[in-house]
Structure 1
Amino acid sequence: MSSLRTKGKSTVVWLLMGLLLLGLGGFGITNFSGVSSGAIGAVGSAEIDSRDYVRGVRSDMQGFAMQTGQSLTAEQARAIGIPQQVQSRLFAAAALEAEARRIGLSVGDDVVLRDVTSAPAFQTAGGQFDAALYQDVLRREGLTPARFEEDVRMDAARVLLQDAVVGGVKAPATLRDTTARWILERRDFSWDELTAEDLAAPINPPDEETLIAWHQANAAQFTRPERRHITYAWLTPEMLESTVQLDDSALRDLYQSRIDEFQQPERRMVERLVYSSQAEAEAAKARLDAGEASFEQLAAERGLTLTDIDLGERAESELGAAGAALFALDQPGVVGPLPSDLGPALFSMNAILDPVDVSFEQAMPELRGEAAADRARRVIEEQAHDLEDLVAGGASVEDLAADTDMQLGEIEFSADTPSQGIAAYEAFRQLAPSLTEGEFLQLHQLDDGGLFALRLDQLIAPELIPFDEVRELVLADWTAAETRRELKIRAEERELVLESVANGDLPAEPAETDAGAGSDAAPQPAPPTFQTATDVERDFGIEGVPAAVVTRGFMLENIGDAAAVEAEGRVFLIRLDAIRSSDLSAPESQPVLNGVEARLTESVRSDLFDAYVRALQASHGATINDSALNAANAMIQ
């Protein structure tokens, strides 16, 4: 329902919403004049123009690309259902249009004029409606002003109809309150993580056949990823730093340009709390001196946080009349009231920052390194054209290394390759996985201004590492899995004991037995060493405990119930100790109530609107033109 309101059938929505974004790129839209003018379908008398359909699919594809950074082909768009989504919206909009026509619902010319002239797609950079731009955009889209303005009129009528159907609908209060109570409920838990120390005996190593079978059954864990043997030539500023010539006067100029970094007076970290009158400021200072309120509390009383009143680092000269008093303090404290440009204020000094006095000679190593790197980048920029010419002339990576300052290197690259050397550069890591054998050599830029070119010499497919090479890893993996299995059994035993205690079937403390008496009874599992967590919220969980454990804890129904949970390769036992119901009348509950009501209302309206649209389509009759739809799909690339 909500998507229909923003991406409806009419061309006005595609232009005003979709083309606003495309317009920033010069309205890079394919001319759809070649698409058949036939409708892809209709609901009653309201036809769905094939151009609207094509425009809608393209708009969604471009929206997907903008959100994910990944462009879609037409086949990929079909695979994720974009055409079907657009068809659903267009047929829903057509149903509203048919009904609006039936009941004679429309809007006046003033509404159309307002919508057209306020559309950003038709405005200049200064926000003024541009008639020439309006005509140009419509011409690019193969539209006439008359048709476009009629679409605007009908789009407004559809919105009126939609609002009339669902505008007054709200989620039931009972549903809202029940959901909010569920969200706000807090619980107390006791929990214990079981480790290998909780087992009666260490896990015995398996025989060789078991390990070999484990290696085969879990092949994905012991498979080398796809590897690429790559030869490359690269040049970075760091490679040239030792060879570039640096002028002493240029270094001094650089020092002067950063003088505020190397020469700073003594400073203070200061916060300022301004009052409307001297009397109010004096009363606040008196409360502060008497220990009745902290500086932070005084700020909170005025609706402010310490961040709101933070002045940052200030020299004495920057603090005006308060400078002398603040710089007289030899430790953090509050002074005032003192005049400020906003009125009488209290000033809090939180830290003393010593003056900075770094001479040119002391700064020289840092300046030289920065200047050398900058000069090296310029050298690479100057060489880039010649390097491009060499590559265009058929030079190999070996030729580039032999004839220029570029250096030759080799790497066996995979997803597991550590980030060092050339593999530390994101540009290389993004390009290497898509490199193909025989690919035309190109120069690419590195993040620091360097250049590189690379060639794929060999593609090595993923392969299972021989058992003999990973035997110890296989043993460790089997042992960890077997340990978790045994711990899960132990946790489930403890779970049964806890439930028996909660039901009164067992005493809270197991009865002690005579150490010298023989007994055939099976020993009871040792009681867990619980940690406690109180007032646990669903969304925040317990620090150090996987979310799945807490989720399982919130599924327990009765006080004393327990559950054994395996999560993230660890085994836990969690017991429910208390359920704390929420108070929906409390002020802190109001934001949750409001949010729940908004989401549920949206859901109820959406369900109601979907049912209404289906009823309209059944009443007016919905048809689809397969040939026109196929022709429109063929135009989507």
Structure 2
Amino acid sequence: MLRGIRKASSNWLGKAIMMVVMGVLILSFAVWGIADIFKGFGQSTLATIGKTEISTEQFRQIYTEKLQQLGRQFGRPLTMDQARAFGLDRQVLQQTIAEAALDEEARRMKLGQSDAEIMRMIYSDPNFRGVAGNFDPARFQATIRQFGFTEQRYIAEQRRVSLRRQIAGTVSAGLEPPKVMIEALSRFQNEQRTIDYVKLNAAQAGTIDPPAPEALAAYFEDRKTQFRAPEYRKISFVVVTPEEIGKWSEVSDDEAKKIFEQNRSRLGTPERRQVSQIVFPNAEEAAAARGRLVGGMSFEDLAKERGLNPSDVDLGTIARSAIIDSAVAEAAFALPEGEISQPVPGRFGVALVKIGKIEPGVEPTYESVATTIKKEIATEQARAKVSDLYNKMEDERGGGAGVIEAAQKLGLSAVTINAVDRSGRLPDGQPVTNIPRGIDVVSQAFNSNVGVENDPIQFNGGYVWYDVLEVTASRERTLDEVKDQVEAKWRDDQITSRLRTRATEMVQKLDQGGKLADEAVAVGSKVETAKDVRRDASLPGLPASAITAAFRTPKDAVGQTAGAGGSEWIVFRVTDISVPAVDLASDDIKKLKDTLQRGLTDEQVAQYISKIEQTIGTTINRAAFAQVTGANN
């Protein structure tokens, strides 16, 4: 439930489903919070960890929410079958168990967290800020209620997450990647290769005559499953979110101007100044140093004399709010450009402040931000309407009304899709366009059936109700129905086969001393060059498969690989390999070190969690797990 509220766990999603799922570490969920572990869920228990029970229904909710989260991330639903193929089912189970293990360990160690600290965390959470930018109790209550929390339960969950962080921080304290590891990975990442290559495409495959009818029929018979018509479902749904309802709301200029005046400083661009400071232990030393500066000594020379680096002195070009010491901030923003302050008693000593370039702030006009403010106000006001419409929709559904009928009674717009497959495509192969991005209503519909009253999907602070109206079963198509597709696939296979054969012949000639330029001319192509390519490079015209193959090939050796799709093949020679020197002080190395340190931390805490699980005992109800994740379907 907290996954939708808290941003702490947002970093474990990537750009592609495989990278996302395989890149997730158990630790990131166990420490930062992903599940809500409950006791006393009756007889249906999916797992026990020490004295903690995870019920089947609780895990079902966690797992469903994870699928929905990935669906919103990628703009298309993730089916149960896809999730199992990527190992998501096992990972979510492991993550949930790991959380419970850390909670058990926190109880054993008698760790605690004060109410004051928990409240500070809640008050500072940007998810609970209203239009004015401050903590909004009404928004807090509405948000946690949206995710199924009472105030007491949400505070208890925050306390558990905080205790997990305490344990993880203690276990991983002092870890640092060794220098030899940093250097080895840097050399691996930064190695560069230059390759000469020749592309073979359909032109090099030669003329391909149409297949004989009997040959096409035999080809189709061997591959019937590839051309099978998928299952389609007719579905209807209605979306009720603050953003949607906010579109119907009218906000007056008086309301918007009031918010504008309250937040004028936040909406504009604040004045920024180039600030330098030197801190002294007492006022006497600071006064003496100022005298020398007034006498002609430069700020930089004084800093060097005191053994300070430029980074110790130069605060950069910053806004007033970015200066931690309020006394220094007040002095810095009272001085004219180029001036040096009198000694300033601050939190960390007595400071001398010098002002460089001043960038004036920009005051916003009401007209420039009116539209944005009105939208925010309308969305904020709509949150209460969402709750009201939720109750009314549930009442209508409870009385037997379908989604379309209930929506009509409440003046809402329902959407009907006559036929959609599991991947979100219409019978013509085009993706559905009238489902808002991030709503996984298709995958939910394929987990339901005609006549089933479905629970609404939580989405963007609101809800999505849906019905399955009709199911069209999957079936085998006849050759006549898909003849064009079969012919196109047959032709692609012929091209691929011929290109692979021609590329193999070219490689054999090159291995025997032939020249790549001569072979390119012989096949009617040309030699292209890619210089200083890194293994993670993305180059136009050169597919990733060719780069990967080049980094498996020794210098001066040749190789071949498939190109873009099946209609391209690439023959290449590696002409140069270079490895830049490792600069341990560079920003890239610092970033690499941080990445390695996070990895070591994750591994250390994961091992610690594993030991806890072994010590306190873990049992899993495999049958319940299979039932929740669809393995029994």
TM bucket (normalised to shorter chain) is: 0.3 to 0.5
User: TM-score scaled to structure 1, two decimals?
Assistant: 0.46
User: TM-score scaled to structure 2, two decimals?
Assistant: 0.47
